[in-house]
Amino acid sequence: MKITVAKGDGIGPEVMDAVLDIFVAAKVPLDYDLVAMGKQVALAGDVTGISPEARRSVESTGILFKGPMETPKGGGYKSVNVTARKLWGTFANKRVFRTLPDVPTAVRARNLHLTMVRENIEDTYGAVEHMQTHDVAQCRRFITRPGSEQVHRYTFEMAARKGARRVTCAHKANIMKLTDGLFLEAFYDVAKDYPQIQADDVIVDALAMRLVLAPEDFDVVVLPNLQGDILTDLAAGLVGGLAYAPSANIGDGICIFEAVHGTAPDIVGQDLANPTALLLSGTMMLRHLGLVEHAATIEGALDVTLRALHRRPDLAQPIPPLRTGRFVDTMVEALRGSRPPAPQAVERPFVPRREPVMRVTEPVPTTALVGVDVFLESSLAPAPLAEQLKALGGPLALTMISNRGTQVWPTGSPHTDCINHYRVRFEAPREVPQQALTELLARAAAAFPLCGAEWLRVIGGRRAYSLAQGQADAAA
């Protein structure tokens, strides 16, 4: 079977060559299509960092095995890693954390075998950002019901296959009641189809503490994208660092297997790169392809190798130095002493797509427009701003003004510091046509610089927009 391989940036080529040498020694029955992806492709003018040849190859093989790729900070091209995951619909990021022999850790987690699944496409990783004033940057956060159900369904199916007894949803639904609330609601909806598995939830900050104090309490954890990105790195610290953290990006068609550590430019070419994370990602890939015995053989040799090398470094702090070449030699020697894997048929039917799949749930019978939040720029204080706005509403009434999410009118505190960016809310007691909202926006635009607007909806009898901090719930 042929898979697509992109070696990556920095130490990427070194660790990928090491892993492929180990695959050869383990007689892994795969062929490799080497393609260009990463920094050099982006700097050559393709801002995706993915060459046309790489795109064609991945969409032909259905498997991408990739090394780490560099992402500029604060500017430049967008993350090639994130682009690849979103472009090819890999909606679930699966990371498995297990205690490895003799790997030093700051917090010793004995016999840890924790699986974390991170939603991989939505959330703030849409990177839909705008400067709304010279002082205010906005990032939009998207959580969808189809996307949430998709990652939860995968998580429960995976948990059932591995014999897990518990799946925990981590979230911040106590604060982000609509976005994380939707993620949590979808979790419990899907959990109903798996009564044999205990389903519960935890607030993400409490999870961070509990992962340090008692990580063995958890079996499988599923999280939204940004929270998952942070907490999976914390979990990596429990097993020795990102150099020991494998990663799989699972899609309905295409899957990506990669190391999640950085490119470590300070040790490039010095024979100091640790291939363990990419090797473990490779064994996840082998299992995905049905090469279970080859994966088990390599993991057994890895345990022997880690014991033989005694103290392991992370990527850039070798004490004593872990030589990439010595790691490979020790792995090859350990593989020579193992029983050769039985021949395995690799069967993974992959059907290339002609166009994207639309994922839409059944619509709710009743949806009504009842108002609009207008985001505008003004240096006026809240009270005089409100006096100017009241005349603009027409059939809608000005009901609330907030600044940075906190209500400052009709009630507020003189101790609430404001910036020149307000959310002003106009509402009607009953449904209004969209034209009434657009006409209101035209009147507001004649008086103030507008930064944006959001319709206020009632969906299925429930308010489908958040209250400001400190705002009373009129419906209550």
Per-residue pLDDT at 20 exceeds 80:
yes
Where among 313, 341, 362 does a domain terminate?
Answer: 362
Same domain, yes or no: 356 and 371 = no
Q: Is residue 8 part of a domain?
A: yes
Q: Which pLDDT belongs to residue 468?
A: 92
Decide if 169 contacts 184 (C-beta within 8 A): yes
Q: How far apart are CA 196 and CA 191, in angstroms?
A: 9
Question: Would you state the structure tokens that stand for residue 363, as one six-digit string?
Answer: 């619509």
Where among 327, 362, 397 does a domain terminate?
Answer: 362
Same domain, yes or no: 349 and 388 = no
Q: Which residues, in sequence order, are bridge partners of residue 28?
A: none
Q: Is residue 197 part of a domain?
A: yes
Question: Would you state the structure tokens that stand for residue 311, as one six-digit string?
Answer: 């103290």
pLDDT band at 233 (very low <50, low <70, confident <90, very high): very high
Across residues 367-381, what is the average pLDDT?
A: 96
Residue 453 belongs to a domain with what CATH number?
Answer: 3.30.70.1570
Q: Is residue 95 part of a domain?
A: no
Same domain, yes or no: 161 and 211 = yes
pTM: 0.89
Q: Is residue 254 part of a domain?
A: no
Q: Is residue 471 part of a domain?
A: no
Where among 238, 273, 301 does a domain terminate?
Answer: 238
pLDDT band at 312 (very low <50, low <70, confident <90, very high): very low
Q: Of the given ranges (214-218, 343-347, 468-472), which has the lowest mean pLDDT?
A: 343-347
Same domain, yes or no: 355 and 300 = yes
Q: Please indicate whether residue 305 or residue 310 has the higher confidence score (pLDDT).
A: 305
Across residues 29-41, what is the average pLDDT?
A: 94
Residue 275 belongs to a domain with what CATH number?
Answer: 3.40.718.10
Per-residue pLDDT at 340 exceeds 90:
no
Same domain, yes or no: 121 and 229 = yes
Per the structure, the complete domain to which residue 449 belongs is given by 367-463
Same domain, yes or no: 130 and 216 = yes
Phi-psi region of 208 (alpha: psi -120 to 50; beta: other; left: phi over 0): alpha
Same domain, yes or no: 62 and 115 = no
Same domain, yes or no: 218 and 113 = yes
Q: Of the given ranges (57-66, 114-123, 301-310), which has the lowest mean pLDDT?
A: 301-310
Q: Is residue 246 part of a domain?
A: no
Same domain, yes or no: 160 and 187 = yes
Q: Is residue 431 part of a domain?
A: yes
Same domain, yes or no: 348 and 277 = yes
- Tokens 């030589």 correspond to 323
How many CA within 13 A on the CB side of residue 108? 5
Q: Is residue 100 part of a domain?
A: no
Total domains, the chain? 3
Same domain, yes or no: 110 and 230 = yes
Same domain, yes or no: 27 and 52 = yes
